[in-house]
Amino acid sequence: MTAIQISSAFDSGNIEVLSIQGDEARLAIRRDIDSDFFQWFHFRVSGARGRELTLRITGLNGSAYPMGWPGYDARVSEDRQFWGLAPSTWDGSADGGTLTIRHTPASDLAWFAYFAPYSTERHHDLVARIAAAPGVDYRCLGTTLDGRSLDSLETGAGPVQVWLYARQHPGESMAEWWMEGALELLADPANSVGRELRRRCRIHVVPNANPDGSARGHLRTNAAGVNLNREWESPTAERSPEIVAIRNAMDASGVDFAMDVHGDEAIPAVFLAGFEGIPSLRPEQSEGFRRYAQVLERRTPDFQTRRGYPVTPAGRANLAMSTNQLAERFSGRGCVSMTLEMPFKDHDDAPDPRQAWSPERSRQLGRDCLGALLEWLDARDSAGELVDYP
């Protein structure tokens, strides 16, 4: 029997083939360019029909988040539409830390990934479809180091300036699945939540803030090997043109509410991170963040507030991170900004043995977050904090 073939020479592909023997392969993940970050993988196995594959990804103790591997199952698809789970086991003592993936494909082709990929082509399809919807404006905010357009979709005519942006860390592909759900709601003329948000707000959406890293198969960095979510205090055109472009557009519009959408490797839950440690923190900002989390927790059982990151002490916020920078930069407006995290692992409060956390649940969470935003605005209106809608 011939050996299987493994390739990653495609959009967002990432794997190094160390050896193949029959149905088994020893693999490694390529680092992001000019950095030590690695965790994202995406590759294709061919000649696999009916064969019990054993795929060992090695050297993972040195990955960006080694605690992301225990309890994690790789994603697999044979049609590139439905992404299910491939049973995986972790052994930190084997070959520098090894994730062993086992799967028996029903067809000759099977794709494996750290999470269901969101391709460049799907991104272009999404942007084209939403841009063609009534009341939606397309804007190219700038150009990346690889020459890609930084796409922004804008809608609504209200005074509240809302910014939603995702995939600063390109390997966190669930973030753009979230964007797909949110954008479909906003562009649907029959959706009551979208209609009311458009009346009250001007909504700016950047579905992929790091298209270069996404196409290159990076975990956390752009084409220069730069972590964009550490560039917000002093971005430069040479290192982080994406952040220069987005921050300049935010300065022009102002920001009242912002959500930065991410995925977390280790925590098997959906949670928010805030801006508690910024120097100019105002009580109404803290209350706004607390109230949004409370509303979202009530609206969807997929969100919770028990697990998350430690709260930053007063005055100790890292202003190079977008959530902190925006809350500080627009504190005079009472800006409420936040980071939304979704899991790479399963969702412990509501596990799914077929898919774990999935594109479908990410899309639905996008819709739920916008429903929570509308309810949050209602509460602010009732408190007299926002008035004079047209």
Positions marked catalytic: 341
- Phi and psi at 67, nearest 5°, equal -75, -5
User: Distance between CA 13 and CA 207 in Å, rounded?
Assistant: 20
Contacts of 384 (CB under 8 A, 6+ apart): none
User: Distance between CA 149 and CA 165 in Å, rounded?
Assistant: 15
Query: Do 78 and 105 form a contact (C-beta atoms < 8 A)?
Result: yes
Report H helices in 53-100.
Answer: none
Contacts of 133 (CB under 8 A, 6+ apart): 187, 188, 189
Query: Do 277 and 314 form a contact (C-beta atoms < 8 A)?
Result: yes
Contacts of 278 (CB under 8 A, 6+ apart): 317, 319, 324, 327, 328, 331
Report H helices in the chain.
Answer: 120-131, 174-187, 192-200, 211-216, 241-253, 283-299, 322-329, 359-382
Q: How many CB atoms lie within 10 A of CB 188?
A: 13
Q: Which residues of 1-19 are buried (b: 16+ CB within 10 A; e: fewer)?
A: eeebebebeebbbbbbeee
Query: Do 299 and 259 form a contact (C-beta atoms < 8 A)?
Result: no
What count of Cα atoms within 13 Å lies in the side-chain half-sphere of residue 291? 17
Amino acid at the residue 16: E
Query: Do 99 and 56 form a contact (C-beta atoms < 8 A)?
Result: yes
Q: What is the DSSP letter of 242?
A: H
CA separation (Å) from 69 to 8, 33, 268, 306? 21, 22, 12, 22
Q: Tell me which residue of 164, 315, 150 sits closest to 235, measured CA to CA.
A: 150
